[in-house]
């Protein structure tokens, strides 16, 4: 693009109601934020599902690891290795039931790194149309052929698998929990198709880890299945309250990625304090899943129940992601702005994050919200819902 064309292009983005700007926020707790103007607000758009970012044990672990420096000082294979990162990988592999795990700098980098490192010219990646951008971009930087199937349409996936020639490996790549819709991938059907066509299953559990399944182990636990996902991606940035991403797989696959995945090899590793925070959060979740998950589910049911009783058209789903599709991006932005003016932060999601015509409000509930905060948020949402004449 010519740089001189950018002002006009930005004008077009604005005209479509898709202009984005950063709004600074300082999180005072896992559920309340402080804005630059000094006002405090309720936060209902965070992915900190378990409130781990402000758990005293997690903060203490990060503080303690600061003794080993604020940054890692280099890529993992050179000077950036730390005890905390290797301990975290061992704990993640155990938690998910795999031989090994590898931590990348973000969940985004993990999907790039896995698909770049594994999928080659002879391979085909079958990808759900609503997969997260990082999986889509991972498909792009791999050298594989990509076949996109309509969202969760297992009949269409079966047809594609049957009719797409492949001399190498077939990968089926899907989000476990879809980030903008809050629905769960149909793992039993995916596993059956993977088995029938000799395909490898890659599931991105960014919004599933610590969220679904009886003990928060994600999509496989939700469906009571084990051993069917070959490559399980996750992030440390959501329910684990830190930053970074990870993939769990067999030991040879992890060794291969450590040796061949450029996003892993050529980027400075996350620091020990961040790894220590994620590890502490994982240990808390493992020690008492019922505490965190029961609170998360109770809170989700409370907000969903209040909004549905008032007639707000939430998409169905078992997760704390509560989407309300509005269609028009400007209407979604206006609704979010009205709620923000009343001290409630939520996300107005527009293209390209979601398909054209499906702009929406995305609310997220966490285990850290109090009942009073949920009731206050519900009151604001209902008051401002279009047609209510707030
Ligand atoms: C499904 C999915 N995968 C990957 C990511 C990227 O994770 P991260 O924010 O850690 O880069 C996200 C979230 O942003 C996501 O929703």
Is residue 50, in this structure, part of any structural domain at all?
Answer: no
Is residue 125, in this structure, part of any structural domain at all?
Answer: yes
- Token pair belonging to 61: 């672990």
Is the pLDDT at 390 greater than 70? The verdict is no
Helix (H) or strand (E) holding 322: strand 321-327
Residues 304 and 373 in one domain: yes
Residue nearest to atom 8 of ligand 1 (CA): 107
- In the prediction, which pLDDT does 37 show? 93
Q: What amino acid positions are annotated as catalytic residues? A: 179, 207, 238
The model's confidence at residue 389, banded by pLDDT at 50, 70 and 90, is very low
Is the pLDDT at 300 greater than 90? The verdict is yes
Is the pLDDT at 4 greater than 70? The verdict is yes
Q: Yes or no: say if 85 and 135 are a contact pair by the CB < 8 Å rule.
A: no
The 10s digit of each residue's pLDDT in 137-181 is 999 999 999 999 999 999 999 999 999 999 999 999 999 999 999
Residues 126 and 221 in one domain: yes
Count how many domains the chain has.
2
Residues 114 and 197 in one domain: yes
134 CA distance to ligand 1 middle (Å): 7
Give the mutation target among 113, 185, 206 for probing the ligand 1 site: most ligand atoms within 8 A of CB.
206
The model's confidence at residue 388, banded by pLDDT at 50, 70 and 90, is low
- Helix axes of 371-384 and 329-341: crossing angle, nearest 10 degrees: 130
Does ligand 1 have an atom closer than 6 angstroms to the CB of 53? no
Q: What share of the chain is helix, strand, coil (3-state, %, to 5)?
A: 45, 15, 40
Residues 259 and 303 in one domain: no
Residues 212 and 235 in one domain: yes
Domain boundary among 259, 287, 315: 287
Burial 126-137 (b: 16+ CB within 10 A, else e): bbbebbbebbbb
Residue 312 to residues 71, 328, 369, 375: CA-CA distances in angstroms?
Answer: 45, 16, 21, 15
Euclidean distance between CA atoms 374 and 363, whole angstroms? 11
Does ligand 1 have an atom closer than 6 angstroms to the CB of 180? no
Residue ranges making up the domain that contains 205: 56-287
Domain boundary among 239, 269, 287: 287
Residues 253 and 306 in one domain: no
Is residue 6, in this structure, part of any structural domain at all?
Answer: no
Is residue 268, in this structure, part of any structural domain at all?
Answer: yes
pTM of the predicted protein model: 0.96
Placement of tokens 């395909």 in the chain:
199
- In the prediction, which pLDDT does 303 show? 98
Residues 239 and 319 in one domain: no
Burial 314-342 (b: 16+ CB within 10 A, else e): bbebebbbbbbbbeebeebbbbbebbbeb
Q: Which residue from 235, 274, 211 is spatially nearest to 51, judged by alpha carbons? A: 211
Beta-carbon contacts of residue 74 (< 8 Å; ≥ 6 apart)? 80, 268, 269
Three-state DSSP class for residue 181: coil
* CATH number, residue 181: 3.40.640.10
Sheet holding 170-175, edge to edge: 100-104, 245-249, 231-235, 200-204, 170-175, 124-128, 145-149
Ligand 1 atom at minimum distance from 178 CA: 1
152 CA distance to ligand 1 middle (Å): 19
Q: What is the mean pLDDT of residues 278-291?
A: 97
The 10s digit of each residue's pLDDT in 12-40 is 999 988 888 999 999 999 999 999 999 99
Q: Yes or no: say if 93 and 231 are a contact pair by the CB < 8 Å rule.
A: no
- Work out whether strand 344-345 and strand 40-43 pair parallel, antiparallel, or are unpaired: parallel
67 CA distance to ligand 1 middle (Å): 29
Is residue 146, in this structure, part of any structural domain at all?
Answer: yes
Residues 317 and 203 in one domain: no
Domain boundary among 266, 287, 308: 287
Residues 226 and 123 in one domain: yes
Does ligand 1 have an atom closer than 6 angstroms to the CB of 340? no
204 CA distance to ligand 1 middle (Å): 9
Is residue 15, in this structure, part of any structural domain at all?
Answer: no
235 CA distance to ligand 1 middle (Å): 7
Give the mutation target among 127, 237, 243 for probing the ligand 1 site: most ligand atoms within 8 A of CB.
237
- Work out whether strand 321-327 and strand 359-364 pair parallel, antiparallel, or are unpaired: antiparallel
Q: What is the mean pLDDT of residues 305-324?
A: 96
Residues 234 and 297 in one domain: no
Residues 181 and 232 in one domain: yes
Euclidean distance between CA atoms 390 and 236, whole angstroms? 39
- Token pair belonging to 46: 């965070």
Residue nearest to atom 16 of ligand 1 (CA): 179
* CATH number, residue 344: 3.90.1150.10
Q: What is the mean pLDDT of the chain?
A: 96
The total number of residues written for the chain in this structure: 390
Is residue 130, in this structure, part of any structural domain at all?
Answer: yes
Euclidean distance between CA atoms 261 and 116, whole angstroms? 6
Does ligand 1 have an atom closer than 6 angstroms to the CB of 104? no
Is residue 11, in this structure, part of any structural domain at all?
Answer: no
Q: Yes or no: say if 247 and 233 are a contact pair by the CB < 8 Å rule.
A: yes
Euclidean distance between CA atoms 132 and 129, whole angstroms? 9
Residues 75 and 94 in one domain: yes
């Amino acid at each position: 693009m010519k740089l001189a064309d950018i002002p006009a292009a930005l004008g077009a983005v604005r005209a479509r109601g898709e202009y984005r700007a950063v709004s600074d926020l300082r999180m005072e707790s896992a559920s309340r934020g402080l804005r630059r103007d000094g006002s405090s607000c309720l936060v209902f758009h965070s992915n900190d599902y378990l409130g781990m970012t402000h758990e005293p044990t997690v903060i203490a672990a990060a503080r303690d690891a600061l003794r080993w420096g604020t940054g890692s000082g280099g890529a993992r294979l050179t000077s950036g290795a730390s005890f905390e990162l290797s301990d975290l990988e061992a704990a993640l592999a155990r938690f998910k039931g795999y031989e090994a795990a590898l931590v990348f700098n973000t969940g985004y980098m993990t999907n790039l790194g896995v698909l770049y490192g594994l999928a080659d010219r002879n391979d085909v990646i079958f990808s759900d149309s609503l997969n997260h951008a990082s999986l889509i971009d991972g498909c792009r930087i791999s050298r594989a052929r990509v076949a996109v199937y309509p969202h969760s349409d297992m009949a269409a996936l079966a047809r594609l698998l049957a009719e797409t020639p492949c001399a190498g490996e077939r990968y089926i790549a899907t989000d476990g929990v879809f980030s903008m819709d809050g629905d769960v991938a149909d793992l039993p059907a995916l596993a059956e198709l993977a088995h029938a066509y000799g395909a490898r299953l890659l599931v991105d559990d960014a919004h599933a880890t610590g969220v679904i399944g009886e003990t928060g182990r994600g999509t496989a636990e939700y469906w009571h299945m084990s051993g069917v996902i070959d490559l399980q991606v996750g992030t440390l940035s959501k329910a684990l309250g830190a930053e970074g991403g990870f993939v769990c797989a067999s030991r040879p696959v992890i060794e291969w990625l450590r040796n061949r995945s450029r996003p892993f090899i050529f980027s400075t590793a996350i620091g020990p304090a961040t790894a220590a925070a994620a590890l502490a959060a994982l240990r808390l979740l493992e020690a008492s899943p019922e505490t965190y998950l029961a609170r998360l589910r109770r809170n989700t049911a409370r907000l969903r129940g209040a909004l549905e009783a008032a007639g707000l058209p939430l998409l169905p789903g078992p997760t704390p992601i509560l989407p309300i599709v509005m269609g028009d991006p400007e209407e979604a932005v206006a609704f979010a702005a009205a709620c923000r003016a009343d001290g409630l932060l939520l996300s107005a999601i527009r293209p390209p994050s979601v398909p054209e015509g499906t702009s929406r409000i995305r609310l997220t509930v966490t285990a850290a919200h109090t009942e009073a905060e949920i009731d206050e948020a519900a009151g604001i949402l209902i008051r401002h819902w279009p047609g209510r004449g707030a």
